[in-house]
Amino acid sequence: MNTTTHSKDKTPAAQDCIDLKLGLCRSDASLSQHRPEVVPLGKHAKGTEHQRDDKIAHHLYHDAKAQDKNHGISEEIVQAAHAQAKVFFHQSAEEKEKIARSKSKYFNGWHLRRGVASKSMNSKDNIEQFTYCYNPNYGPEVDSPFNYYPGLPEDSITATSLEDVGLGAHTDIQSFTILWQDMIGGLQVLMADGSWVKAPPIPGTFVVNIGDYLMRLSNDRFKSTFHRVFMRTTSDRYSMPFFIGFNCNEEFSVLPSYTSEDMPAKYEPTSCGEGGNSSDHVYGHGYEVYEVKEDTNSDPLGCSVHSRPEVASNPKREKKRTCRDNGNTATMKTFSDLTNIPRKKIND
């Protein structure tokens, strides 16, 4: 595998996309050509429903993410939430610890992520989250973190170290994510050719990110997207994703309209609590998964924890997932438990 890290190139653009062992970093010019398109939704959308579906599918599949404007959410509300996030995260750790996620029945609350991923996507998380649930008792399962990426000390900005990435590569587990990011930048998306491209902040828009469940529902027509946050700045960064999924106990299957004789359902019916495992799509995309050296998920997993492709050193290990709505514990199996198909590697 190519292990280029562009260590001599000190331009900000190059640093922003220092490739982590993929060696496929694009030049800045190339990055801007590939930025995800802004797709107007709602009443501003043009064409028939089917044409819009195709257009969105095209962008989500080929450009990995779409950015949505004309969404009707006022800037005032977004800015108020952003301001609250700043106030919250700037409290002392002691204060935040009072509402730590580990103390919450529904695994909501403050949480530090310091996971280290190895192999093809070497990275280290450097993020604080405050996770909340829209309504823990009723569905659809909608929940979110506020994400806070503390600005880095000056001397680590130029470092080509693989550490302190921000948020390591992952897909979101739910159906789709509506993501607001501030203007700092750093969000990147993995393209089908294995290169990372920037998804730069555009004022007034949200990034819409396809999650694993929609991929299953649509029989892979909509592919969930690997993305990461690559932070190389002294400024703090904030983001607010809103994950939209299903009730934990509801079974969901591939929608019949996405199957045919030639294209039978690729996925068995499953539920969030049981089978929303993060690894099917890894095979689907043909990317190598990475190992988690330090288990970031020592807390019991809630239903909407990120679907970090975490086939760890012991691929047979089972993960406990706890449904928010009834406290039942279900077992999440890894990809390796479900199939003997070997995982594909990037650049195969």
Ligand X SMILES: O=C(O)CCC(=O)C(=O)O
Q: Which residues bind ligand X (CB under 6 A)?
A: 145, 147, 167, 172, 179, 181, 187, 227, 229, 239, 241, 306
C-beta of 15 vs 225, nearer to Fe ion? 225
Whether the CB-CB separation of 191 and 152 falls below 8 Å is answered with no
Q: What minimum distance in Å lies between the beta carbon of 160 and ligand X? A: 22
Q: Does 143 participate in binding Fe ion (rule CB under 5 A)?
A: no
The closest alpha carbon to 307, from 224, 246, 238, belongs to: 224
Separation between Cα atoms, residue 129 and residue 240, nearest integer Å: 10
Q: Nearer Cβ to Fe ion, position 172 or 220?
A: 172
Q: Based on C-alpha coordinates, what's the Rg of the chain?
A: 19
b/e burial code for range 63-88 (CB count within 10 A of at least 16 → b): bbbbbbeeeeeeeeeeeeeeeebeeb
Which partner in ligand X, Fe ion, none is near 239 (CB below 5 to 8 A by kind)? ligand X
- Of 121-129, 167-175, 310-318, 321-329, the window that binds Fe ion (rule: CB under 5 A) is 167-175
Cα–Cα distance, 183 to 237 (Å, whole number)? 8
Residues shown for the chain: 348
> Considering the complex, what minimum distance in angstroms separates the CB of residue 327 from Fe ion?
26
Choose among Fe ion, ligand X, none what residue 147 binds, the Cβ cut-off being 5 to 8 Å by kind: ligand X
Smallest separation, CB 177 to Fe ion (Å): 6
Least distance CB 54 / Fe ion (angstroms)? 25
Judged by CB, which is closer to ligand X: 143, or 219?
A: 143
Q: How far apart are CA 249 and CA 244, in angstroms?
A: 15
Q: Taking a C-beta distance cutoff of 8 angstroms, is the pair 19, 196 a contact? A: yes
User: Which amino acid, one-letter code, is at 111?
Assistant: H
Closest chain position to Fe ion (CB): 172
Nearby residues of 293 by Cβ (< 8 Å), 6 or more positions away: 116, 117, 118
Complex with ligand X: residue 194 or 211, whichever CB lies closer: 211
The option from Fe ion, ligand X, none interacting with 67 (CB < 5 to 8 A, set by class) reads: none
Residue 164 interacts with Fe ion (CB under 5 A): yes or no: no
Shortest Å, Cβ 94 to Fe ion: 29
Least distance in Å: CB of 211 to Fe ion? Answer: 8
- Check: CB of residue 159 under 8 Å from CB of residue 139: no
Q: Which of 63, 68, 172, 310 binds Fe ion (CB under 5 A)?
A: 172
Stretch that binds Fe ion, among 9-17, 149-157, 165-173, 334-342 (CB under 5 A): 165-173
Of 304 and 334, which has the nearer Cβ to Fe ion?
Answer: 304
**Window contacting Fe ion (CB under 5 A); options: 70-78, 135-143, 166-174, 323-331:** 166-174
Do the Cβ atoms of 30 and 19 come closer than 8 Å?
no
E strand segments, the chain: 38-40, 66-69, 109-113, 116-117, 123-124, 127-133, 142-149, 166-170, 176-181, 187-190, 196-198, 206-210, 227-230, 237-244, 251-252, 270-271, 292-294, 301-302, 319-322, 329-332
| Closest CB 270 distance from ligand X, rounded Å | 21
* Residue nearest ligand X, CB atom distance: 239
| Chain residues that interact with Fe ion, rule: CB under 5 A | 172
